[in-house]
Structure 1
Amino acid sequence: MTVASTAVASTSVRTGARVGRGTAPAHHGELLQGAFTVPDRDTPVRALVTLPCPSYTTRAAFTPAPGGAVTVSPPWKTKARRAAELALGDRPAGGRLELSGEVPLGRGFGSSTSDVLAAVRAVRDAYDAPLTAREAARLAVRAETAADALMFEETTVLFAQREGRALEDFGRRLPPLRVLGFGTRPGGDGRGVDTLSLPPPRYDDTEIARFDHLRELLRCAVRTGDAALLGTVATRSALLNQRHLPVPALDRLLAVAHDCAALGVQVAHSGDIAGLLFTPAAPPPPEARRRLRHWGFEEQWEFTTGRP
């Protein structure tokens, strides 16, 4: 046994825990985002449905240590450190949290929630105390004020991002989609935006009624596996939010989607990425990439998400 492994084993003996490990996925912005009426509330609730993205993963390792202090590497990931502290609960222990991964920052990939979710999973793994998606959601919101629905990996939910709860569980994953993603700043540098500085949109009654209708359509799309209807929901959500969080040159993107037979356009409502939606059986044609480059959208990528 090496000196390092001896130290880890000694720590585990003293704390009654092991080195815990956790991972968390990313997402690719939203399929639907707005404010929705709910039976138990007098006012609409802000919520969203994210588009899972398997291209990126955050990995976390948590080494328990005596005392109450938690340190994190990289040190600027303070939300993940706070999440680890919350996940410890009443345990009289601290520890070392180490995070790694390549989730782009501030672009709409859910990097903050990915860090937080990986952190809480690693802490709970250290104590062999798994947590449910609902528990993880509550911890994530406490750690970062608003969170994404990354912890619901086996289903699709309408998630109240500032309350940490699912307003509706649609009961299954999204139907399979092939996504041609790209940066939405023509000629941009890919550095993203400061999502925390964006004020929450203020929707009017007409918009809220439309969001409720899109929720019904999305419920049907997920239940029946209708990818085309899902594309319609994503496009209409993008158009509704254009008054509040405008996407540059959205009209051009819609034209590309139409001409290339895409199912729809999906955007990150608090980021600078978007995607053209296709089915795996009819993936993006080369013309779609060429048209995007013509309008200055040079940064492009592809991935498949969803499950039959």
Structure 2
Amino acid sequence: MSPALRHATGYGHAPCHHGEILQGVFRDPAGRRCAGLVTLPMDGPGSRAEFARGPDTPAGVVTVRPGDRTKAARAAVLAVEECARRGGEAPCGGELRLLGEVPVGLGMGSSTSDVIAAVRAVADAYGVRLPAEVVARLAVRAERASDPLMLDARPVLFAQREGRVLEVLGRRLPPLVVVGCALGGGAPVDTLALPARVWDEADLRAFERLRSLLRRAVALGDAALLGRVATASARRGQRALRHAEFDTVEGIAGRLGAVGVQIAHSGSVAGLLLDPAVPGLRHRVRGCVRALEGEGVPVTRVFTTVPTRAAFPTTKEFTSGPAHRGGRRPTGSDTPRRPARLPAL
């Protein structure tokens, strides 16, 4: 092994998302039931990782900073095994450093972002290029369920507990402008405390219908149809989450001409979805912001699913209100139990 390889350091990055457009139970290509989701991508916050190989450190020993990022540490160990095998080397330990800007516990994929950034940093340190399906497999092994952040921006139905794509729904989502907000005051959701979801055949038929409609919305670039799907999925998610402000948010969306609402099915972020082709977009966005803040629902960020120079030229952050009295992502457990103030995204 060359001296350069003995002390190689690699770097990785992964984005986050803004909750889900659709989440439920679906049939896979073999006709088997499995849980699946379609996330709403968001540029901006993410996790960055640096992995320094330690040739004198035993295999399986990875020191992580901050020390609570245990899922990312597990992912690094698994990635070392994979990359060393592919490179014909003996695995060793190392040091993993993470810098995350994704709020924890709000359903934005913070742990998956950490995990994927860690895997990519290890791969970079070994000079190995891991296919997305391998990264997905490692992510699921590290955290039991993973968001599809290792994939490109194409909308996919993803089996989060198995780390595989059930269906590529199309090339890109219809253009949308999203007025993001935080339900429950931005307090993290303890997903382990939620009641277990038991899906029956009626649920399966309903979700497959929504899947079909979402496929059509993507194919036609139909923002209104996508909004219908997201709203229906959000309503179903409310059976477990029971956010007190959800009806208020949905009412604002209907009153001010949004095409629908979406939520994080394992967190507290939500979004009002607007069609950027509708006249008076900026007026509608401002109206949504004022209405949400008037009801005491913190507004986090307005963003778009299209490139920033397209229909909605800039991403505007709203830096007033309780959702913005904070700094970067706090250190804490992978599944925090305390309320957290949402940083300005």
TM-score by length of 2: 0.80
Q: In the TM superposition, what are the counterparts of 1:222-233 in structure 2 within 5 Å? A: 222-233=218-229
The DSSP-based 3-state class of the residue aligned with 1:52 is strand
In structure 2, the residue matched to 1:151 is 150
Q: Residues of 1 paired with 2:45 and 2:16: CA distance?
A: 6
Q: Residues of 2 paired with 1:13 and 1:199: CA distance?
A: 53
Q: Which amino acid aligns with 1:295?
A: E
In structure 2, the residue matched to 1:194 is 190
In structure 1, the residue matched to 2:272 is 276
Is 2:77 the partner of 1:85?
yes
- Residue segments in structure 2 that go unaligned for 5+ positions in a row: 311-345
Is 2:45 the partner of 1:56?
yes
Q: Residues of 1 paired with 2:276 and 2:14: CA distance?
A: 24
Q: Which amino acid aligns with 1:30?
A: E
Q: Which amino acid aligns with 1:290?
A: R
For residue 262 of structure 1, the aligned residue among 258, 261, 264 is: 258
Given the superposition, is the C-alpha separation of residues 121 and 12 from structure 1 closer, same or farther in structure 2, using an over 3 Å criterion?
farther
Say if 1:15 and 1:93, in contact at 8 Å, map to a contact too: no
Q: Residues of 2 paired with 1:241 and 1:209: CA distance?
A: 16
In structure 1, the residue matched to 2:110 is 111
Q: Residues of 2 paired with 1:199 and 1:168: CA distance?
A: 28
Q: Which amino acid aligns with 2:98?
A: L
Say if 2:21 and 2:230, in contact at 8 Å, map to a contact too: yes
Say if 2:195 and 2:240, in contact at 8 Å, map to a contact too: no
Q: Residues of 2 paired with 1:270 and 1:243: CA distance?
A: 12
In structure 1, the residue matched to 2:3 is 13
Say if 1:108 and 1:272, in contact at 8 Å, map to a contact too: yes
Give the C-alpha shift of residue 56 in structure 1. Answer: 0.6
CA offsets 1:148-196 (integer angstroms, 9 cap, x no match) = 11111231110111111111112312222211010112xx2x2312234
Given the superposition, is the C-alpha separation of residues 248 and 178 from structure 1 closer, same or farther in structure 2, using an over 3 Å criterion?
same
RMSD: 1.9
Say if 2:194 and 2:240, in contact at 8 Å, map to a contact too: no
The DSSP-based 3-state class of the residue aligned with 1:285 is helix
CA offsets 1:91-121 (integer angstroms, 9 cap, x no match) = 4211111100210000011000000000000
Say if 2:16 and 2:113, in contact at 8 Å, map to a contact too: yes
Q: Residues of 1 paired with 2:2 and 2:213: CA distance?
A: 50
Q: Residues of 2 paired with 1:97 and 1:133: CA distance?
A: 21
Q: Residues of 2 paired with 1:38 and 1:140: CA distance?
A: 20
State which drifts further: 270-279 or 198-207.
198-207
Instruction: Give identity over the alignment, percent.
Output: 51
Say if 2:183 and 2:298, in contact at 8 Å, map to a contact too: no
In structure 2, the residue matched to 1:176 is 175
Is 2:125 the partner of 1:126?
yes
Q: In the TM superposition, what are the counterparts of 1:182-261 in structure 2 within 5 Å? A: 182-185=181-184, 188=185, 190-261=186-257
- Residue segments in structure 1 that go unaligned for 5+ positions in a row: 1-10
Say if 2:35 and 2:161, in contact at 8 Å, map to a contact too: yes
In the alignment of these two chains, the number of paired residues is 294
Q: Which amino acid aligns with 1:35?
A: V
In structure 1, the residue matched to 2:332 is none
The DSSP-based 3-state class of the residue aligned with 1:193 is coil
Is 2:31 the partner of 1:32?
no
In structure 1, the residue matched to 2:298 is 298
Q: Residues of 2 paired with 1:270 and 1:37: CA distance?
A: 21
Say if 1:17 and 1:127, in contact at 8 Å, map to a contact too: no
Say if 1:60 and 1:100, in contact at 8 Å, map to a contact too: yes
